[in-house]
Amino acid sequence: MVGYKYGAIDIGSVQYDECLKIQSTPLKCSWRSMGNIDDLYALRYSSNVYQYKIAIKVGNGTYMYDQPLKINTDAFKKYRDMYASFGLGVKTEIDLPVESSGYSSTDKAAGNLLDFVMGQYETYTPIQLSQYISTIANGGARIKPHLLKEVHSSSNTEEIGELEFSVEPIILNTIATEQVYFNRVKEGFYAVMHSPGGYGVGYIDDWMDASGKTGTSQSFIDTNNDGVIDTETITSTFIGYLPSSAPKVTFVVTSPDSSHPNSNIDYRSLVTYYLTREVARKYTELYGLY
């Protein structure tokens, strides 16, 4: 969305997915080299490099192998403003007494921007992710989430009391982008779930017409409670909505610190797939859509 808005890409723009090398930093790669890919392919197969190259263009930077990368730091604000319009990095205004807005950093090093655009730099809460996917599902309206549906008067019978008031939807903002770009993102989310090799294939049966996006990020924990973060882990997330043609349900499933990267356990098949898939299936069963 940021790339579309600021002219870094357009629908169908092709970029070459390759490992990037910035001076004095490790290689920054996708999970595999993908060659020439477009925006739809990048969503479907989770290309980090496609996002990196968008960010460099948004920041008016020029990439050269193993050279310093300079970007205009206002790119951070461009991304944050777009993320916030979906509910990421800001309070969702849910009807609870305390709400976290997640973690945000002020370090504007160029490499951090690349991490930022693929989910490795700041943190978001599950309710923020819920508001984000709901905003995509409904076509761009960020709606205030609530737990309370309605209030009824007390009753001395088995019948529910008279309705006193109900909570009406409140639109906090709408996404400032052309509908054609929204449709393109939704097309990508659908491909994740239904195209051969899509990362979400198998999570929910095809006939349910779901759209969604998987995500895997590095995370870090203090394993012995000494106040020092000492172990790198993997956090896996799956978000989506269904049916794609007329969404009624959105869902967020996250498995924090699900595995150590150097573990012999295949965290993707054991945690990301089986656990996340089963939670998503049970969720859809609950709403009578399975």
Contact assessment for residue 6 and residue 78, using Cβ atoms and an 8 Å cutoff? yes
Average pLDDT of the chain to the nearest whole number: 89
Tokens representing residue 282 in the block = 């049970």
The Cα-based distances of 130 to 39, 50, 92, 126, 193 in angstroms read 23, 25, 9, 6, 18
Q: Answer positive or negative: Cα dihedral of 75, 94, 186, 284.
A: positive
Residues whose CB is less than 8 angstroms from the CB of residue 40 and which lie 6 or more positions away in sequence, other chains included: 12, 184, 187, 188, 191
Mean pLDDT of all residues in 197-208:
83
Is residue 189 pLDDT above 90, yes or no? yes
Is residue 273 pLDDT above 80, yes or no? no
Q: What is the pTM of this model?
A: 0.89
